Structure 1
């Protein structure tokens, strides 16, 4: 108990330091490129429904490019609010397409970034993919666009980044919405053994449509029927693994996995100052490290029907919803149920 208390206190101190540094230190200077963007960008040729723009900036001693879409609000319903939607680790910003379309129709400007390392963005090999850095990258993009207050919506890994964004920039967040975020448990503390980055890379570099679909079907849509509509999101990733940037992407995923395992957000949820909304699927069983953990450890991991309510109870100003019978991606599995809850919260 004493070790846990010390660790929790130290985590809180580190979080406060991160907040002070992020709010007082200069953001990376960047520029927005709105000219021609090739269809195949950093290994991704997946068609995006809106024009792709590029945020070019300097970070960690290298030039980087973050791809994003900027969807304007429908003029007849403009409410002068902006929503930024953060994707999960096995997704891209475009996975939020239908949600973005609904938000735009309801009067919201919508920003859909591809995180650094993912999809149509740069895939640096010598890079720290921690959630603070990704949150800072998003903040730098919004600064370059001249956007101040935002509604932040994050799914899975994007939920971890969104929560960190809320901790780092509480004055810039109007609403924080977390959709089945990772990090609601400390995987390592529960017994997930360390897997070297090189070993993780070896498991990633062989990924293809079949292995990706099997993983998503088992973890993301547990106890549900796989729909052909989900295939497009698997193909989106499988094509990157099979393309010219396949090896780089596999290594990025290894670095990301290593970073996320060491940064669960569960200890920092009580520090959130923003109005926070948490939604999870009752059947979500997603957990980092489960695949290489002993059976007794794996059995402890990823029970969102318990993790969700426990996490919500830790957040000072929160609202919680659990989708009966849904898994890790409720906005894909039952969009109408997802929109009912989302827009009730936004209204």
Structure 2
């Protein structure tokens, strides 16, 4: 089913209902199926209101039935074609909805925009016995695009964890990617090689299951926006995340975060950047100090981690066909901290 090709359709209210989430069948389609029917307001623990209707990609993977929520925003100026499609991948402390402002700008520029919630996150399934490898998440995105019959090469943009997935996607499916945009991606350094000690998954879970609005805000303020004024608008995104922890899937979500953290620590993209063949734009905030494992590392090790003003230029130099931009004075989420500057830089590069 094609999305409603009008701005009114793109901004229509969510379909709500008291129905059970549709799952893959016992004999699953080898790719999966798209579900466009009504959905409950509280979907897999997330009651956040998304800016566009939620669709579901139901598929069978790792011996279980899974459901990936996504938004499908039509182009505002190129109705009837899929010649320009952008896929926006969210970070670990974000959801597809966090990209809303960027999606509106891309839609106005003629892009169809796909905004998935990764498996384990936000309004998607949260399987407990699952391998949350970067490769697997990239494969899930590819399966979604296949189910949507998107055949032309796409623009893939990822932030933070989504940047790791986007880079891996570019490595795995180079012929399907027109251009790649990495926004403050994780994995530009090898945390373990720098001295981050192993922490058992159960212990990571214990640090996650106690998360609240205040603890999440304190972390994001210190790490994502260091030396910057916290804007009230950021509270919306913190609450979006905090409500999942406080909801009926809170424990499951905390365990997913532990599994994801463990998987990401062992899969830095640093060593694979020279193999990227796709035209790539790497964008980082000068003040970004985000690093996995910093919280449980020694002060000496922690001091060496997350210096994007250093690891950003080094990573760009390793990518054969890349352009690099560093946002002066911004942190881990430049599209939130200064959306005007972010979109000016982004659209100056997009062809």
Secondary structure at the aligned position of 1:183 is classed as coil
* Distance (whole Å) between structure 1 residues aligned to residue 114 and residue 334 of structure 2: 20
Q: Deviations over 1:132-170 (max 9, x none)?
A: 000000000000001121100000000000000000000
TM-score (norm 1): 0.91
Report what 1:44 is aligned to: 46
Rounded Cα–Cα distance in structure 2 between residues aligned with 1:29 and 1:60: 13
Q: For 1:194 and 1:79, how far apart are their aligned partners in 2?
A: 45
Partner of 2:113: 110
What does the per-residue CA deviation read over 1:216-243, in whole Å, with 9 as the maximum and x for residues that have no partner? 0000001100000000000001000000
The residue aligned with 2:66 is 64
Runs of 4+ in structure 1 off by over 3 angstroms are 75-79
> Match for residue 17 of structure 1?
none
Shift in Å, 1:131: 0.2
Counterpart of 1:29 in structure 2 is: 31
Q: Aligned partners of 1:314, 1:101: CA distance in 2, in Å?
A: 32
Compare the two structures and name the one with the higher helix fraction. 1
Distance 1:162 1:125 in 2: 23
Deviation at 1:38, TM superposition (A): 1.4
Q: Distance in 1 between matches of 2:240 and 2:205?
A: 19
Q: Pairwise mapping of residues 1-347 of structure 1 onto structure 2 (< 5 A)?
A: 28-75=30-77, 80-148=83-151, 149-347=153-351
Q: 2:20 maps to which residue?
A: none
How far off its partner does 1:75 sit?
Answer: 3.2
* Structure 1 position 79, deviation (Å): 7.7
The runs of 5 or more residues in structure 1 that have no matched partner are: 1-26
* SS of residue matched to 1:326: coil
User: How far has the Cα of 1:80 moved from its partner?
Assistant: 2.4
3-state SS in 1 of match to 2:344:
helix
Unpaired runs of 5+ residues, structure 2, are 1-28
Distance in 1 of aligned mates of 2:174 and 2:125: 28
User: Match for residue 5 of structure 1?
Assistant: none
Contact 1:28–1:140 under 8 Å retained in 2: no
CA contact under 8 A between 1:79 and 1:107: conserved in structure 2?
Answer: no
Distance 1:76 1:268, change over 3 A: closer
In structure 2, how many angstroms separate the alpha carbons of the residues matched to 1:86 and 1:79? 19
Paired with 2:244 and 2:77, the residues of 1 have a C-alpha distance of 36
Q: Deviations over 1:169-225 (max 9, x none)?
A: 000000000000000000000000000000000000000000000000000001100
